[in-house]
């Protein structure tokens, strides 16, 4: 990993009606066993200081406003990682009457981490890829 942005990707965790499986795996990334902080990853509470939004759960009609509000509060450049089958495509809930079928229906998703639920190693790889995308977005911002 190189560049200004990718050396300290701070994440904000957004739970859209997840069953908590993915959330537990995401928090496992921060525990001593996996220790995401060695890559500079910090789970930050406020979206205003975050670079990457990690979204879990089947996004539904009720959570549209909350997701958009949180996403718009993040300063540019920003990236979104959809963690778990539900956030990627709706998962087993995809044909529910209220489920939209994936987080990418309302916000642009950069990295998809599939699995039900994905392993912490996979989530960390997704975050690392999103950090690389942040660097590219930063370059694009400079050019503008």
Binding residue for another protein (CB under 8 A) from 66, 68, 69, 75?
75
Binding residue for another protein (CB under 8 A) from 15, 17, 73, 122?
73
User: 27, exposed or middle or buried, with CB in 10 Å at 0-12, 13-18, 19+?
Assistant: middle
Residues 103-142 that bind another protein (CB under 8 A): 138
To the nearest 10 degrees (0 to 180), the angle between helices 120-143 and 21-30 is 80
Of residues 30 and 88, the one with the C-beta less far from another protein? 30
> What CA–CA distances, in Å, run from 2 to 48, 59, 133, 140?
23, 33, 11, 16
Binding residue for another protein (CB under 8 A) from 18, 22, 25, 51?
51
Binding residue for another protein (CB under 8 A) from 42, 64, 106, 128?
42
20 lies in the binding site for another protein (CB under 8 A): no
Provide, rounded to whole angstroms, the least separation between the CB of residue 112 and another protein.
Answer: 24
**Local structure of residue 84 (DSSP, 8 states):** S
Of residues 51 and 101, the one with the C-beta less far from another protein? 51
**Local structure of residue 119 (DSSP, 8 states):** P
Helix (H/G/I), strand (E/B), else coil: 113: strand
The residue count of the chain comes to 144
Q: In what order do the strands lie in the sheet with 52-56?
A: 42-43, 10-15, 52-56, 79-83, 111-113
The residue range among 17-25, 33-41, 91-99, 116-124 that interacts with another protein, by the rule CB under 8 A, is: 33-41
> Which residues of this chain interact with another protein, rule CB under 8 A?
4-5, 7-8, 30, 32, 35, 37-40, 42-46, 48-49, 51, 73, 75-77, 138
């Amino acid at each position: 990993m190189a560049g200004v942005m990718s050396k300290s990707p701070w994440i904000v965790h957004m739970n859209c009606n997840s069953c908590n499986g993915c959330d537990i795996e995401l928090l496992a990334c921060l525990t001593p066993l996996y220790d995401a902080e060695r890559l500079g990853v910090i789970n930050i509470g406020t979206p205003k200081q975050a670079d990457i939004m990690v979204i879990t759960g089947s996004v539904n009609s009720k959570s549209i406003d909350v997701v958009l509000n949180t996403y718009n509060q993040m300063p540019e450049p920003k990236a979104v990682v959809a963690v778990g089958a539900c956030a990627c495509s709706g998962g087993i809930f995809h044909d529910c009457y209220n489920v939209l079928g994936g987080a990418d229906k309302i916000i642009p998703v950069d990295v998809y981490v599939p699995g039900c639920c994905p392993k912490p190693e996979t989530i960390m790889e997704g975050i690392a890829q999103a950090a690389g995308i942040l660097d590219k977005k930063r370059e694009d911002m400079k050019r503008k």
